[in-house]
Structure 1
C-alpha cells in the first residue's frame, strides 16, 4: 500500500480505516443491540433471566474463546480473507433467528455469530496497523478504539429505532443486512499477511479457548449457584488447568499462538488488563441500565437508546487525543484516572432507586464515558506498540480477546448477580400467587409486569414489588462492578508504565522484520 512522501494518507488508507471502523462497530454493536429487546424477547419466547443472560453472553463467549486463534489465522492466511469470511458467517448466523426463535435457538445463533465476529475483530485492527505509516498509526488506532468504545451505544440506538416500528426480529434483520453489505465491501481493500507464515498452534488454540470459556461459565453460575456448586468447581478447575497448559505450551512451541513473554512488557501487560477491566464493567452496566430505563422508567426502546446517546460525545472526543496524551505522560496516569472515574460512576449508579430521575442516571453515565475515553485508546496503543508489525494480527487479537473476555465476564456477573438478587427479593411474593403465575414472576421483571398487567388494578402491588426486587439486584451488580474497578485502578497505577525518559532502542524493529507481504486486491 503506497504512502505519499510526507507520510500522509492515501484514499486507500482512508477507505480501509472507514471499512475497519464500520466492521468493528457492527461486531461491538451486536453485543449490545439486544439489550433493548430483552424485555420483548422474554415476553415473546418465555426466556428466563438466566436464558436472557446467555442470549447476550453466548455471542461474547464464542468471540472471546476464538478471537486469539482467529487473529493468528488472519496473519497466516490473509487478514482481508479473515474479515470477509467472518462477516459472511456473522450474517448467516444473524439470519437464523428469522426461522427459529426459541430461547435455545437464539442462544445457538448468537454463539455462531460470535464465531464470525472472532474472525472480524482482529482483522480490522491488524489491517490498519500493518498498512498505516508509523507516524499516523496511533491516530488511526485512537479512532478505531473510540469507535469500538461507542459501538455498544450505537447498537443500542440502532436497535431502539428498529424496535420503535417493528418487533425484536428486525434487529436480526438489520445485523444480517449489515453483515452482507460489509462482506461485499471488504473485497475492495488490499490483502495483508505475515510474510513468515508461521505454523498454526492447535494445542494453544484449544487450551486457550477452554480456559476462557470455563472462566466465563464459572462467572455466570457463581451468583445463582454459589461458589461450592459442582458446575462452578468443575468450571474453575478446567479454567486453571487449561490456563496452565496454555502457558506451558506457548513457552515451548516453536511458533506460539501467543508469546506469553510479551506480558513481561509493562505496557503490553497492563494495557491488556485495562481493556479487559473497562469492557467488563462497561458491558455489565450497559445490560442493567437499558433494562432499568425500559422496565423502571417505562421508556420505549428508542427512548431508552437515546437516553444513553450522550455518552458517545465525551467517549469519542477524549479517545481522539488520549493516545497522544499517554505518549507525553505515560500510560499510568490516564489509565488509572479513567478507571477511577468509571468506578465512581458505577458506585453512584448503585445508589439510584425506583423513584430516580433521568438526571440521576445521566451524570454518572457521562462520568463513566469520560473514564472510558481516557483509558481505552491508550491501552490499545500500548498493546500494539509492544509487538512487531508482522505480529500485529496476534496483538490485535490479544486486544480483542481482552475486550471480549472482559465483556463476557461483565455480562455474566452483571446479569447473574441481577438474576440472583431479583430471585431472592421476589421470593416472598411467590406463595401468594396462583401456581401458573409463579414461574414467570420468578423468571424476570418483564414477565412479572405482564402478569401484573393482566391482573388489572389488583396487580399493581406485585408490579411495584417486582420493580423493587429488580433495583435491589441492580444495586448489588453496580456496587460490585464499581468496587472491582477501583481495586483495578490501584493495580494499574502500580503496574502501568509512566513517562519514558528516553526512547527504547528495543522498540525499533528491523526493516526486514517490519515488511509485510501486501497483495493488491
Structure 2
C-alpha cells in the first residue's frame, strides 16, 4: 500500500491539476509532501519498532495510513491535498520498515534470502504497478478513488497481521529515541525540497539560501548522530563497505526511478496522447519482470554475491530510460514504449532483491529495523530530491504539463539525466562491492 501510493499518484497528477487548478510546483508537492515525511520519519520508525515492538508499530502505521488516505480522497483544494499527503507519509514511515523487520526477525537465517526476495519482489511490483492501478481507477471514478481504495485494504491487512504475525523487538533497546536528530532530518530535507522545487520560479538568492540551510541542517544531523546515546542512524553501520555502497547505490537509483515514473506518466498523456489507463498499462512489463524474476535474482545473488546483479541492474535500467527518451507526439506503444519498459524492468528486477538482502545482511540482527529504516529513508530521499530538482533544472515549471512541446523538451533532458544517475549507481556497486565485501555478504546471508 505504502509503496504503491508512492507511484500511483504519478498517473493522477494531471487530473489532480485540472480538478484542483494546481500549478506544476503544487503537483510536485503532492508527490513530495508524502516523500518528505516518509523519508524523514522512517528512521524514527525503524528505531521505534526495534524498541516498542515491530508488529505493534506496523499495525499503528497501517491504521494511520488509512485515515490519512481518507483525508486525501476528500481534499477540497491543492493545499489540503498536500497537507493530507504529508500526514499519509507519516503512516507510511511507521509501517514500511516494520514489514521488513518483521520478516527478518521471523525467519531463521537460512530461510531469510527467499523470504526477503519475495518481499522485495512484491515491493517492486507495488512500485511498478502503481501507474496501472492509478490509470484504472482514474478511468472508473476519478483521482479520489486512488486514495479511498486504501481504506478497505488496510482493514484486511490489520486483521491478517493481528492474527498471524508474531511480535518482536530489540532485547538490548534502552528506551531512548533521538528526537532532536529526527527534527533535524525533517527540517533539512524540507528546506532542500522547498529550495529545489522553487528554483525555476524563485530568485537565485532564495534558492541558494534554502539549499544551504538544508545541507547545514543535515550536517548538524550527522554531528548529532555521532554524540547521541541512541542515534537514529548508528554511524558504525557505515563502517561496512557493503552497507555504505548499497545505500549510495540506492540514493542514485531510486532518485532516477522516482523522477522517471513521475515524468513518463505525464509525458505519455500530455504529448503521446495516451489515456490514464493506457499510460498505466504501459508500465506493465516492469511489473511482469519483477513478478517473474525477483526471486530468481535473489537466489542468484545468494550463490554468486550481489556485486554483479547490483552493478548490471542499474546499467540495464539506464539503457531502458534512454530507449524511452524519444517518447513524444505520435509515439506508438509497441515500438516506442514497450522495448524500453522491458529493458528497464529487467534491470530493476536484477537489483531490487540483491540490494535488500545486501543491506540487511551487512547489519547485525538487532538492528534489523534500523537498517531497513535507513535504506528506506535513503530510497525515499533520493526520489524526493530528484522529483524536486529535475523538473526546474530541465525547464519544467508553472503549467508546463499543458504544453506538449515544452514538456517534451524537458522530459527528454530529464531522461538523459536519469540515465546518468543509474549508470553512476552501477559503477558505485561495482567499486563498492568488491571481492572481499562480496564474500562477506554471502557468508552473512
TM-score relative to the length of structure 1: 0.80
CA contact (8 A) 2:44 2:232 kept: yes
Q: 1:249 to 1:374 in 2, by over 3 A?
A: same
Deviations 1:46-99 (A, max 9, x none): 011111111111111110010001111111111111111111111111111343
The correspondence for 2:246, drawn from 245, 253, 271, is 271
Where does 1:130-169 land on structure 2 (aligned, <5 Å)?
A: 130-169=105-144
* Rounded Cα–Cα distance in structure 2 between residues aligned with 1:68 and 1:36: 28
Runs of 4+ in 1 over 6 A off after TM superposition: none
CA contact (8 A) 1:153 1:305 kept: no
In structure 2, the residue matched to 1:401 is: 377
CA contact (8 A) 2:64 2:88 kept: yes
The correspondence for 2:285, drawn from 291, 306, 310, is 310
Distance apart, 1:417 and its partner CA: 4.2
In structure 1, the residue matched to 2:166 is: 190
* Rounded Cα–Cα distance in structure 2 between residues aligned with 1:388 and 1:116: 26
Residues 1:284 and 2:259 aligned together: yes
In structure 2, the residue matched to 1:474 is: 411
The correspondence for 2:62, drawn from 79, 82, 87, is 87
* Rounded Cα–Cα distance in structure 2 between residues aligned with 1:253 and 1:500: 29
CA contact (8 A) 2:242 2:441 kept: no
Distance apart, 1:506 and its partner CA: 9.8
Q: SS at the partner of 1:272?
A: helix
Structure 1 unaligned segments of length 5 or more: list them: 1-25, 424-441, 449-465, 509-521
Distance apart, 1:120 and its partner CA: 0.5
Q: 1:112 to 1:274 in 2, by over 3 A?
A: same
Distance apart, 1:416 and its partner CA: 3.7
Distance apart, 1:414 and its partner CA: 4.1
* Rounded Cα–Cα distance in structure 1 between residues aligned with 2:227 and 2:318: 39
Where does 1:107-122 land on structure 2 (aligned, <5 Å)?
A: 107-122=82-97
Residues 1:202 and 2:179 aligned together: yes
CA contact (8 A) 2:44 2:182 kept: yes
* Rounded Cα–Cα distance in structure 2 between residues aligned with 1:324 and 1:305: 30
Q: SS at the partner of 2:297?
A: helix
How many residues are treated as equivalent by the alignment?
A: 442
Residues 1:78 and 2:53 aligned together: yes
CA contact (8 A) 1:84 1:183 kept: yes
Residues 1:125 and 2:125 aligned together: no
* Rounded Cα–Cα distance in structure 2 between residues aligned with 1:74 and 1:395: 12
The correspondence for 1:242, drawn from 217, 221, 227, is 217
In structure 2, the residue matched to 1:256 is: 231
Distance apart, 1:225 and its partner CA: 4.2
Distance apart, 1:160 and its partner CA: 1.7
In structure 1, the residue matched to 2:399 is: 443
Residues 1:35 and 2:19 aligned together: no
* Rounded Cα–Cα distance in structure 1 between residues aligned with 2:75 and 2:440: 57
In structure 2, the residue matched to 1:213 is: 190
Distance apart, 1:472 and its partner CA: 0.8
Deviations 1:362-412 (A, max 9, x none): 211111111111112111111101111111010110121122112212322
Residues 1:484 and 2:421 aligned together: yes
Distance apart, 1:105 and its partner CA: 0.3
CA contact (8 A) 2:361 2:441 kept: no
CA contact (8 A) 2:251 2:381 kept: yes
In structure 2, the residue matched to 1:68 is: 43
Q: 1:279 to 1:502 in 2, by over 3 A?
A: closer
The correspondence for 1:102, drawn from 50, 58, 77, is 77
Deviations 1:291-315 (A, max 9, x none): 1222223222222211211211222
Q: SS at the partner of 1:229?
A: helix
Residues 1:319 and 2:294 aligned together: yes
Q: SS at the partner of 2:168?
A: strand
* Rounded Cα–Cα distance in structure 1 between residues aligned with 2:441 and 2:122: 30
TM-score relative to the length of structure 2: 0.93
* Rounded Cα–Cα distance in structure 1 between residues aligned with 2:423 and 2:200: 21
Q: 1:212 to 1:97 in 2, by over 3 A?
A: closer
Distance apart, 1:133 and its partner CA: 1.1
* Rounded Cα–Cα distance in structure 1 between residues aligned with 2:293 and 2:74: 42
In structure 2, the residue matched to 1:172 is: 147
* Rounded Cα–Cα distance in structure 1 between residues aligned with 2:97 and 2:27: 27
Q: 1:328 to 1:108 in 2, by over 3 A?
A: same
Report the structure number with the largest CA radius of gyration.
1
Distance apart, 1:235 and its partner CA: 2.7
Distance apart, 1:350 and its partner CA: 2.2
Residues 1:497 and 2:437 aligned together: no
* Rounded Cα–Cα distance in structure 1 between residues aligned with 2:290 and 2:101: 23
Distance apart, 1:489 and its partner CA: 2.4
